[in-house]
Amino acid sequence: MYRVFGKPDKWKMYFRQLLLEMETLGLSSLGIVIIISIFMGAIMVIQIKLDMDSPLLPIYTVGLATRDVLLLEFSSTIMCLILAGKVGSNIASEIGTMRITEQIDALEIMGVNSANFLILPKVSAFIIMMPMLVIISMAMGMIGGYSVALFSGIVTVTEFEIGLQFAFVPYHVFYSIFKSLVFAFIISSVASFYGYNVKGGALDVGKASTNAVVNSSILILLSNIVITNFMLA
Amino acid sequence: MIELIDVHKSFDGTEILKGISAKFESGKTSLIIGQSGSGKTVLMKSLIGLHRVDQGQIIYDGRNMPDMSFKQLRALRREMGMLFQGSALFDFMTVLENVMYPLEMFSNMTAIEIEKRARFCLGRVDLVERSYSLHPSEISGGMQKRVAIARAIALNPKYLFCDEPNSGLDPVSSLVIDRLIKEITEEFNMTTIINTHDMNSVMEIGDNIVFIKKGYMKWQGSNKQLFNSGSEDLDEFVFASNLFKAVKDAHEKHGASI
Ligand SMILES: Nc1ncnc2c1ncn2[C@@H]1O[C@H](COP(=O)(O)OP(=O)(O)OP(=O)(O)O)[C@@H](O)[C@H]1O
Ligand SMILES: [Mg+2]
C-alpha cells in the first residue's frame, strides 16, 4: 500500500499514464453509461406510471420519483456496480496478465516501483473521471424519461418537467458524486490488488478478475449503506 | 564481476540452494546449466534480488547485495538488464516505445536523444525500421527476444541476465540470439549470466559454465573443458543425448577439437 501511494518515480511518465487511463477507464465507459442510463430513465417513467396510476397522487409524482431514483441511487450506486463489472475486470485482468507474463518483474528489474507505476494512475484516473460519468448518467436518465413523455404520452411533458423540478435538493447531487468517488476508489484499488497478486497462469487471471468484481460489488453495497447513513439520515 | 559465496535459499523449510559459490567475470558469457528443477531460476532470481537469500554473499563489484536497503537495491537494479523467458515486453507499447521506456524513466536525455538511443539499440539487434511501430503481439517470438535484448541494453547495463533466452525458438534463431548476446557482452564488457539447458548454447557461447544439481554447485569451467571435466554428474547431464554422446566418443577416439 505504501508503495502504491508513494511519489511516482518520474512525474512526466505518471501524467502520461494518467491521461491514457483516463481515456481507457473513463471515456471508453461513456458509451455503456449513456445507453444504460437512457433506457433506465425511460423504463422508470413507464414503470412508475403503471404502479402509481391513481388520481389521488399529484401529477408530479412520476417526474419526482424518476429524478430521485436517478440522483440518489441509480447514477451512483447502480452505475458503479455495472462499472465494477466493466472497469474492475479490465483492470484486474490487465495487471494480472502483466504479472504472469513477467512484465511486472521486468519493471522491478529496471528499478521501477511497479505497484506505483501501474496502480496509481489507474486509481487516480478513475476517480477523476467518475463525477463526469455520474453527471452524464443523471442527465441521460432524465433525457430517457423525457423522451418517453415526449413520444408515448404516458405522462405529459409538462407533468414530467414539473416533477423533475419539484422539491429539488442540490445536496443530493453532491451526495451522489461523493459516493461515486468512494466507489471509484473501491473498484480500481480492489481490482488492482487482485490483479497485482495473481500467481500462476491464465486461469488465475480469470479467477482474479471474477474475485475483483464480486468483492468490489459487495464493498460498494456495504459502503453505500454506511455513507447514506452518515450523509442523509 | 559478480561473485557468489555460499548462497543458501529455502522455501517453507525446503532448501533449494544449498551453498552455491561461483564467479562471473565481465566481458564473458556465463551459463548456469542444470536439470529442470535444479534451482536455476531460483538462483537467478536470488542474484537479481527478487528473492532474498537466507545466507551467503552476492557481491557486485565489491558491493554485497544482501546487505543493501531497498533503495540501494533499486539503484543497483538500474545497472542491470534482464531478458525474461517470455520476453516480458510491455504489450500496450510499440516496439520502439518498449525500448524507449527505461530511458524515459531513468535517463536525463532529451526526447530526441532517447529516440536516437532506442533506434541504435534496435539496430544493434538487427531489427528493421518497419517493425518499430508494431506491438509485441504482432511480431514473431524471435523478434520479441531481440526487442527484449534491445530494451535490456538500452541503459548500458553492467550486468545482463537471461532466463532461458532460447526457449520456444528454433535451432537457427536460437543460435542467432546466442551469438548476439555474446557479441554484445564482449562489445560492452558486460557481466552476462544465462540460464539454459540448451546444449547448443553451451557449446556455442559457454565461456564460463556453472553446473548445478539439486541445489549444489557441482562444476565450474569453460566449454573447452567440458569433455574432460572428470565430473560424473556433469557427464550424465551433458551427454544424456545420443548426439552428444557420439560427439564425445568421436572426440575421445580422434582427439578432434570442437
Ligand atoms: N517461489 C517458490 N516457492 C517455493 N518453491 C519454489 C519457488 N520457486 C521455485 N521453487 C522450487 O524450487 C525448485 C527449483 O526450481 P527452479 O524453478 O529454480 O528450477 P529450474 O532449474 O529453473 O528448472 P527449469 O529448468 O525447469 O526452469 C523446484 O522444486 C521448485 O518447486
Ligand atoms: Mg527455470
ipTM of the complex: 0.84
Cβ–ligand 1 contact at B37 (below 6 Å) = yes
Pocket test for ligand 1, best of B7, B8, B10, B11 (most atoms within 8 A of CB): B11
pLDDT tens-digit series, residues A184-220:
999 999 999 999 999 999 999 999 999 999 999 999 9
**A151-160, A183-192, B13-22, B61-70: which range is least confident on average?**
A151-160
Global pTM?
0.87
pLDDT band at B55 (very low <50, low <70, confident <90, very high): very high
Whether residue A181 is predicted with pLDDT greater than 60 in this model: the reply is yes
Contacts of B111 (CB under 8 A, 6+ apart): none
pLDDT at B78: 87
Distance between CA atoms of A90 and B159, rounded to whole angstroms? Answer: 36
pLDDT tens-digit series, residues B102-154:
999 888 899 999 999 999 999 988 899 999 999 999 999 889 999 999 999 99
pLDDT at A5: 86
Q: Mean per-residue pLDDT for B64-76?
A: 89
Residues of B with a Cβ under 8 Å from any A Cβ are: 48, 50, 74-75, 77-78, 80-82, 84-86, 88-91, 101-102, 104-106, 155, 161
pLDDT at B257: 55
Please give the number of the atom of ligand 1 that sits closest to the Cα of B212: 21
pLDDT band at A107 (very low <50, low <70, confident <90, very high): very high
pLDDT at A1: 64
pLDDT at B16: 94
pLDDT exceeding 70 applies to what percent of chain A?
99
pLDDT band at B199 (very low <50, low <70, confident <90, very high): confident
SS (H, E, C) chain A: CCCCCCCCCCHHHHHHHHHHHHHHHHHHHHHHHHHHHHHHHHHHHHHHHHHCCCCCCCCCHHHHHHHHHHHHHHHHHHHHHHHHHHHHHHHHHHHHHHHHCCHHHHHHHHCCCHHHHHHHHHHHHHHHHHHHHHHHHHHHHHHHHHHHHHHCCCCCHHHHHHHHHCCCCHHHHHHHHHHHHHHHHHHHHHHHHHHHCCCCCHHHHHHHHHHHHHHHHHHHHHHHHHHHHHHCC
Task: Report the Cα B14 to chain-centroid distance in Å.
Answer: 26
Residue among A9, A102, A111 minimizing CB distance to B84? A102
Average pLDDT over all residues of chain A: 92
pLDDT band at B229 (very low <50, low <70, confident <90, very high): confident
Cell of B252: 575421445
Provide, as residue numbers in chain A, all residues whose Cβ is less than 8 Å from the Cβ of B88: 101-103, 105-106
Cell of B118: 532506442
Q: Mean per-residue pLDDT for A132-153?
A: 93
